[in-house]
Amino acid sequence: MQCRIMIPNRDQAPIERCQKCSVRHKAVCGALNDAELARLNQIARTRQIKPGQTVFSDQEQPEFFANIVSGVIKLTKTLSDGRQQIVGLLFAPDFLGRAYGGESPYLAEAATDVELCCFPSDNFEHMLGDFPDLEHRLFENTLDELDSAREWMLLLGRKTAQEKVASFLLMIAHRAPNIGCAHSDEMNFVQFALPLSRADIADYLGLTIETVSRHFTKLKSDGVINIINNREIAVPDIDMLANRADLEDAL
């Protein structure tokens, strides 16, 4: 099994593989020139992950870092009695792993089918020292993650369930185009696939499954969204949804 998911591809022409890579310039690799990229490529291994499968355990020393080539990874924290909270969602071309971290402070698992480009921890941390641009890129990445985390703190602490659900849909609508699961015909119309189950959405918003479901149907009956099926949502007017995200306007 271990050998099935860690596919060596040293045999490919190093740079060629990266040149064909869909996230070559958007991921952290974008900070590297060809020579540096060749070195990184030498230690890189692709890996396929199934939905629900664990990538890093809690309290475990991760053995690799990774670029997300496709799919969505969720980062979760858990209380002793089982209550869960998703503390981060990673989309392609995000970077997975905490540099200089020791053990991972949270559980990382696949929310969808995921393709990773993995780098062994020790090799990669060594490269960080050699390539300042790479570390700098990771730093900026981390700053963005911190901003998102704080944005979500505002949501968790102060928004109503309705606003939470609307904010979530809005966030997916904005990020989905980059992961190729959305299309937009007219100006304000968007349709996209949800990368998360209702249970995951609840864990992300600090709500229960039932509350999430109720507000989906409320948004539907208010004409703000169209539920094509459980995983496919259409938004006729994105501004209308945005209004629901910040402030419960009347009724």
204-223: which residues touch a second copy (CB under 8 A)?
A: 205-206
- Name the binder of 230 from DNA, a second copy, none, CB < 5-8 A by kind: DNA
Token pair 């609508």: residue: 173
Which residues are 232's β-sheet partners?
193, 229
Contacting a second copy within 91-130 (CB under 8 A): 98-101, 105-106
- Compute the C-alpha angle 204/209/214, nearest 5°: 110
Tokens 């969720």 belong to which residue?
74
Which of 27-57 are b and which e, b meaning 16 or more Cβ less than 10 Å from the residue's Cβ? bbbebbeeebbeebbebbbbbbbeeeeebbe
Q: Which is nearer to a second copy, 98 or 214 (CB)?
A: 98
Task: Give the DSSP letter of residue 7.
Answer: B
Residues 6+ apart with CB under 8 A from 50: 110, 113
Which DSSP state fits 99?
T
Residue 81 or 186 having the CB closest to a second copy: 81
250/237 Cα distance (integer angstroms): 18
Among 153, 160, 178, 246, binds DNA (CB under 7 A): 160
Binding mask 67-86 for a second copy (x = CB under 8 A): --------x-x-xxx-xxx-
Only one of the segments 3-11, 37-45, 116-124, 227-235 lies at the binding site for DNA (rule: CB under 7 A); that segment is 227-235
Interaction pattern, residues 201-220, with DNA; x per rule: CB under 7 A: -----xxxxxxxxx-xx---
- Tell me the C-alpha distance between 32 and 34, whole Å: 7
229 contact choice in a second copy, DNA, none (CB below 5 to 8 Å, kind-dependent): DNA
145 binds, among a second copy, DNA, none (CB under 5 to 8 A by kind): a second copy
Q: Which residues bind a second copy (CB under 8 A)?
A: 75, 77, 79-81, 83-85, 87-88, 98-101, 105-106, 132, 135-136, 138-140, 142-143, 145-147, 149-154, 156-159, 205-206, 246-247
